[in-house]
Structure 1
């Protein structure tokens, strides 16, 4: 075969390019990896376009310079560049991940492979170095880890709230019931004692105070962990939530749940908390007269809408980039845990609408997906 003939399987459109030139074209075309040669003294001997994009040096600026300029000052002080070349020469290659430095001084997380290059007789000619910028992948992994931690913290918080709510209901609630019975017994005895009629209004006042304390305790306990959610399901819990909201704030609120069957504990509690947070925002900011909560399911998608007729908000405040409300951020995080999407729609004077879509397959589990 002639020197410039294509070998079997080669691109027939490049018949006049030598094989070594093809390799050089290939290396130059790669932009996602920095690929370059280092001589036995650690000096940069070649430079591809990927290296220029990742590290910021032009070939004229870096060829002939020691490759140690890519390392942090701590790594240089620890002798890492020379140690990596020594290891590559002794074992054939070395792979490492760590911080590297660009021309402008910024750092990036890199995966680095250094391979010893030898001639036919085994003499060391230099090293081939391949670097990949892993910064975005590392950041994504860190975000995923932070998200997992956030979810587990939320679960732990809900479990703790459930425990506190149960203790409030079972312990303090029973003590208040016993106290009311004692006051009632005292009142009955006073009615039989001559000259004690002036004390009877005080016992009735005590009973009224105990009733108020009991009602407050039930409300606090239900907000911590609504018993209806565990006992009767999401629909009943949302009915109670909107009814309680109407009584407390004088805003006409209603919930319409088409079907809550098959919704797991985690998803049901997450949806309940989303609605709870949305209603809190309405009470604090909306100045609304009515608010509606609607949960529908169709085509394997669950949709949740919370709509009020309040003062609304500028579009920038409802957009993802403009959100500063921790309530909206909290809702977005809870929706993310259900693998859903959330949109906020509003304008001054036009009310506020929260629209959430969640695939049904993420609603059935008792734990986050």
Structure 2
């Protein structure tokens, strides 16, 4: 006999009292033995008689139980006393005193279960076992179960109680054998024809019922183990009694790890336990009735990681016991998808310029964004479920375009088109539509996503831009064509200047023609500049240039205008040179335009100021005038093409097309700077400031110009003028003759080549744009005809952009002259040809 505490056998009673007690105990044992031996009943009833007798024989016990060995479990087979209702309770064999007794096959005694490591402490607290004795039921060398006495006090059992349990255990073992023999004999005795038939019928029915039950249980287990949702079943007190494979996958516990454990302690975070314990679904199942319940709670896995779970509860009754069936689904992916869907919906509804819609596989609208309402004009309830053909024009619908577009998108995956669409109010607009086919992981078409954008404004802008482009090209062509009639006029005026001594009586008329011709030439130049600005063809040739030099040259160019209006100019510049990386000619054009505007919009006798200064790393050229001024809301508009803030009828000088400031801003922008305007209002003058980045490297000192290297021939040059415009060619040839040189005019490329071979001219003035053979095409042949010495060949054309000059230089021309050619420019060219000869 093994015990964990020594039993106190000290007895202070008298010998006579002890004898009477022993006799009484013996009588009770004999009576109990008799009742047990006489129990010709089934085994369960037999075991119940045993547990009842034990309570009578051992007054210290408040409960007795016979536990049957069932695999890894111990099952309460018969119970008496305070635990009579626990019949069927299962405990783990491992970790309990009963299981240890069944394995070691001898009696065990625990005088205090609260500190005994061999016992199942939770089970002891549940049945109120403070001390207990356990003895094995051994039959034919096998332990079928154990007999256990439980008391609610520490060390409640004495030596007599232990002896009594051992005697009863022996009796129970023999009784079990007796019951088996009795059952066999009774079967043999009671067998007869009718009984056998009834037994067979009953057995057949039971077998069929058992077979159905077994099949049902198999189906139930198969369903539970194959479902994706975790299935957890508890008894009425929340103790887990069943568990499927999906629960293992969801929570990470093996089935054996959770059986018999409270569901709240096992599957939910400790921080929520107090709150969840108040929920009806985790209370006594007997109070739930037929109620079904579903909610979302936070569950936790074996590794204590938490996840959102959807829990469905169904109260059930099985074998007369109330149970709770929980189905648990991990909804992490669904929650993430819902969150993404929310964010996507917020994003889609925040996009107001695009109509974003979803269609099903048949092209019917399933979702409708706020942007779609704005673009198409329909509310969501007006279009959901309707075909997307609703937005096509009647002609497209009749042609089957809606279905064709979806078929094309399904075939290609994604299509993008621009075409007309119809709003709710019947207006049509030009739309950009992207249609994308949506397929699942198996490639099955689920629907379509459509993004529609109203492109009407862009289409109008493109049309305006195309019109502007055509207008710019027209202006450039017009300017070029106007140069051709200006050329003979300028030549004629130059001849009048040379013959002024013979025309003294016509001097005023000559000056008038010269002024008007110069003005017309400036207007043509302005037209060409307008074309360059709008086409983005303004070019610069940057190199280190002094800002003081820009200012000086600008002042020189504007001096005649200032003098004509009796205006004075004050100039303020630092002595130390300030340099920029820029194009001298273009920058002089900018500053001279500002000075000319200041003069034009200032009264006679006004004083205009020009100031050059540095501000940090920027250099500034500022022109200030006391003139007409600019309205505050027109400051920015004065830089727009063809805009003149002052009405022409209020200008003292009504010349100009409103191009100068636009060109000035374009040139300054190309230099990496900017130009701004300021005025206090009408009648308060204007200030224009050009800001330019200062050159960040030292500039070598310029060498003073050296003496002339060659002397020029004063006359006797042979000049060939080639131009398809007969007046231009003849007038230029006459002007050359007036200057004392031999000249010949021809009107096409072929004649020019023949004359060059015969004449061997010293200077060739060659037009570029001629029918049949252009100047570019004729140049190589003319060069070949001139021989090794060659001559000066100058392009004489109405094309005067920097790109045109680069092109003529690359072709091999020595110089580029823009029509109309001035007298001074022609004399310089003749001098160059004479120097080369």
For the aligned pair, the TM-score class normalised by the smaller chain equals 0.5 to 0.7
Q: Which is bigger in relative contact order (C-alpha 8 A, separation at least 6)?
A: 1
**8 Å contact 1:44–1:67 — kept in the other structure?**
yes
Compute the displacement of 1:103 (Å): 4.6
> Which residue, 347, 352, 363 being the options, matches 1:42?
363
2:355 is paired with a residue of what secondary structure?
strand
2:367 is paired with a residue of what secondary structure?
coil
> Which residue, 307, 328, 350 being the options, matches 2:684?
350
**8 Å contact 1:318–1:346 — kept in the other structure?**
no
Residues 253, 282 of structure 1: CA spacing in aligned structure 2 closer, same or farther, 3 A cutoff? farther
In structure 2, the residue matched to 1:195 is: none
1:75-154 counterparts in 2 under 5 A? 75-76=396-397, 79-103=400-424, 110-119=431-440, 122-132=443-453
Residues 78, 210 of structure 1: CA spacing in aligned structure 2 closer, same or farther, 3 A cutoff? same
**8 Å contact 1:28–1:50 — kept in the other structure?**
no
Residues 274, 120 of structure 1: CA spacing in aligned structure 2 closer, same or farther, 3 A cutoff? same
> Which residue, 554, 557, 562 being the options, matches 1:238?
554
**8 Å contact 1:256–1:293 — kept in the other structure?**
yes
Give distance in 1, aligned partners of 2:477 and 2:616: 33
- Worse-matched range after superposition: 14-23 or 114-123: 14-23
**8 Å contact 2:431–2:456 — kept in the other structure?**
yes
Give distance in 2, aligned partners of 1:302 and 1:148: 35
Give distance in 1, aligned partners of 2:592 and 2:399: 52
Compute the displacement of 1:282 (Å): 0.5
**8 Å contact 1:287–1:311 — kept in the other structure?**
no
Residues 334, 125 of structure 1: CA spacing in aligned structure 2 closer, same or farther, 3 A cutoff? same
2:368 is paired with a residue of what secondary structure?
coil
1:127 is paired with a residue of what secondary structure?
strand
Unaligned runs of 5+ in 1: 6-11, 184-202
* Alignment of 1:175 onto 2:495: yes
Q: Deviations over 1:310-356 (max 9, x none)?
A: 253543444649x9982256456335524335334232442223344
**8 Å contact 2:551–2:591 — kept in the other structure?**
no
In structure 1, the residue matched to 2:506 is: 206
Give distance in 1, aligned partners of 2:561 and 2:628: 18
Residues 176, 343 of structure 1: CA spacing in aligned structure 2 closer, same or farther, 3 A cutoff? same
In structure 2, the residue matched to 1:252 is: 568
* Alignment of 1:334 onto 2:666: no
Compute the displacement of 1:44 (Å): 1.1
Q: Deviations over 1:103-133 (max 9, x none)?
A: 5666665442212223455443321213345
- Worse-matched range after superposition: 123-132 or 135-144: 135-144
1:208-287 counterparts in 2 under 5 A? 209-210=509-510, 213-214=513-514, 234-253=550-569, 262-264=581-583, 267-268=586-587, 271=590, 274-275=593-594, 278-279=597-598, 282=601
Residues 19, 308 of structure 1: CA spacing in aligned structure 2 closer, same or farther, 3 A cutoff? same
In structure 2, the residue matched to 1:289 is: 606
Compute the displacement of 1:35 (Å): 2.9
In structure 2, the residue matched to 1:57 is: 378
**8 Å contact 1:343–1:356 — kept in the other structure?**
no
Give distance in 2, aligned partners of 1:142 and 1:359: 37
**8 Å contact 2:580–2:692 — kept in the other structure?**
no
Give distance in 1, aligned partners of 2:395 and 2:591: 51
Q: What is the total number of aligned residue pairs between the two structures?
A: 329
Give distance in 1, aligned partners of 2:607 and 2:371: 59
Compute the displacement of 1:73 (Å): 5.5
**8 Å contact 2:553–2:588 — kept in the other structure?**
no
Compute the displacement of 1:57 (Å): 3.4
**8 Å contact 1:35–1:129 — kept in the other structure?**
yes
Residues 55, 359 of structure 1: CA spacing in aligned structure 2 closer, same or farther, 3 A cutoff? farther
Give distance in 1, aligned partners of 2:620 and 2:398: 58
Residues 353, 61 of structure 1: CA spacing in aligned structure 2 closer, same or farther, 3 A cutoff? farther
**8 Å contact 1:251–1:291 — kept in the other structure?**
yes
**8 Å contact 2:617–2:694 — kept in the other structure?**
yes
Residues 205, 354 of structure 1: CA spacing in aligned structure 2 closer, same or farther, 3 A cutoff? same
**8 Å contact 1:112–1:132 — kept in the other structure?**
yes
Compute the displacement of 1:239 (Å): 1.5
